[in-house]
C-alpha cells in the first residue's frame, strides 16, 4: 500500500502528463510484490525491519525493470508487461535517486502528515512542529483516535445504508433487472447489505401479493431472492390467497 501510494502520488502512474505514452499501473506494483515475496528470503522481510529500506530496494528493482523494458508477468511465462510504448527514462532515473532518508521524509510529510490532518486539531497541530513532539507519539495519537472513532463511523455507515435500502427496495422490486443490479452492487460493498435489501424486497412483494395475488413479475422477483425455494413459496402464497378470496 505504501509503495503504491508513493508511486501514484509521484505521478509515475495513470498518464499524469497525458502524453499518451504507457505508464506504470497498479498491476506492475502488484507484480513487483509477487516476485519479491517469492524470491526474497524470509529474513529480508523481518530482520532489521525497516519499511523505508524495503521500499527503496523494491523501487530499485523496478528501476532496473524500466531500464531493461522488462517486467516479467508472474503468472504467464514469457509475457512482458513493459514494451516500447512506456516512457521509462525519467521514471527509471527518478527511482534510482531515492534513498532511505528521502523516502522516510517523504512518508512523514505526505502520508503521515495527511493522516494527521484528518484528526482533531489537538492532534494535527502536533505535526506542525516535530521538534517538540516525537513522531512515535504523533503516530500513537493518530492510531488511538482512529480506533476510538471506527465503531462510530461503522454505525453511521450502516444507518445510512439501512435508510436508503428501505427506500430503494420497493422501487427496485418493480423489475427483475433493477433488483439484480441493486443486489450485485450492494454485495460489492458488504454482503450483509445485500441480505438486508433482500428482506426489504420480500416484505414489499408480500404486501403486493396479499392484495393483488401473484403475477409473472412477482414470481420473477421471488425467484431472484429465494432461488430454489420459489416453488414451495408460490404454492403456499397461492393457497393463502385463494383461501382469503374464498372467505371474502
Boundary residue ending a domain (61, 90, 117): 117
111 lies in some domain: yes
Residue 95 phi/psi, 5-degree rounding, is: -65, -35
Boundary residue ending a domain (99, 117, 135): 117
Instruction: Kindly state whether residues 163 and 84 are assigned to the same domain.
Output: no
Q: What cell does 98 get?
A: 531515492
Whole-number Cα distances in Å, 89 to 22, 61, 100: 12, 15, 22
Name which of 31-35, 36-40, 159-163, 173-177 the model is least confident about: 173-177
Bridge partners (DSSP) of residue 72 are 80
Whole-number Cα distances in Å, 212 to 218, 219, 232, 241: 10, 13, 19, 9
Radius of gyration of the chain (CA): 28
The set of residues, in sequence order, having a beta carbon less than 8 Å from that of 86 and lying 6+ positions away, is 21, 22, 23, 24, 66, 69
Count of structural domains within the chain: 2
Instruction: Kindly state whether residues 91 and 194 are assigned to the same domain.
Output: no
Instruction: Kindly state whether residues 204 and 113 are assigned to the same domain.
Output: no
Boundary residue ending a domain (68, 98, 117): 117
| pLDDT tens string 45-76 | 988 778 889 999 999 999 999 888 889 999 99
Q: What is the pLDDT of residue 10?
A: 80
Q: Is the pLDDT of residue 233 over 70?
A: no
Q: What cell does 210 get?
A: 396479499
130 lies in some domain: no
Considering the chain, what is the average pLDDT of its residues? 78
141 lies in some domain: no
pTM score > 0.75 for this model?
no
CB 63 within 8 A of CB 72: no
Cα–Cα distance between 112 and 134 in angstroms, integer?
A: 13
Q: Which domain holds residue 213?
A: 152-247
Classify 40 as helix, strand or coil.
Answer: coil
Bridge partners (DSSP) of residue 80 are 72
CB 84 within 8 A of CB 34: no
CB 101 within 8 A of CB 123: no
106 lies in some domain: yes
Q: Is the pLDDT of residue 108 over 60?
A: yes
Instruction: Kindly state whether residues 162 and 231 are assigned to the same domain.
Output: yes
Amino acid at each position: 500500500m505504501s509503495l503504491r501510494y508513493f508511486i501514484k502520488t509521484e505521478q509515475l502512474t495513470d498518464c499524469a502528463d497525458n502524453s499518451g505514452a504507457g505508464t506504470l499501473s497498479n498491476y506492475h506494483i502488484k507484480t513487483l510484490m509477487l516476485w519479491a515475496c517469492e524470491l526474497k528470503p524470509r529474513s529480508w522481510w523481518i530482520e532489521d525491519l525497516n519499511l523505508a529500506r524495503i521500499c527503496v530496494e523494491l523501487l530499485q528493482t523496478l528501476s532496473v525493470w524500466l531500464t531493461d523494458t522488462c517486467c516479467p508477468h508472474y503468472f504467464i511465462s514469457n509475457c512482458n508487461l513493459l514494451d516500447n510504448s512506456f516512457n521509462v527514462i525519467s521514471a527509471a532515473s527518478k527511482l534510482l535517486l531515492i534513498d532511505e532518508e528521502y523516502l522516510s521524509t517523504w512518508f512523514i510529510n505526505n502520508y503521515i502528515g495527511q493522516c494527521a490532518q484528518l484528526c482533531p486539531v489537538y492532534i494535527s497541530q502536533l505535526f506542525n512542529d516535530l521538534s517538540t513532539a516525537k513522531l512515535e507519539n504523533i503516530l500513537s495519537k493518530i492510531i488511538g483516535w482512529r480506533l476510538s472513532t471506527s465503531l462510530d463511523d461503522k454505525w453511521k455507515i450502516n444507518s445510512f445504508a439501512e435508510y436508503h435500502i428501505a427506500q430503494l427496495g420497493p422501487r427496485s422490486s418493480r423489475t427483475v433487472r433493477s433488483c439484480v443490479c441493486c443486489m450485485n452492487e450492494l454485495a460489492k460493498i458488504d454482503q450483509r447489505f445485500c441480505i438486508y435489501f433482500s428482506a426489504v424486497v420480500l416484505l414489499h412483494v408480500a404486501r403486493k401479493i396479499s392484495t393483488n395475488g401473484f403475477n409473472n413479475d412477482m414470481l420473477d422477483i421471488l425467484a431472484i431472492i429465494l432461488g430454489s425455494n420459489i416453488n414451495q413459496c408460490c404454492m403456499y402464497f397461492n393457497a393463502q390467497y385463494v383461501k382469503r378470496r374464498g372467505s371474502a
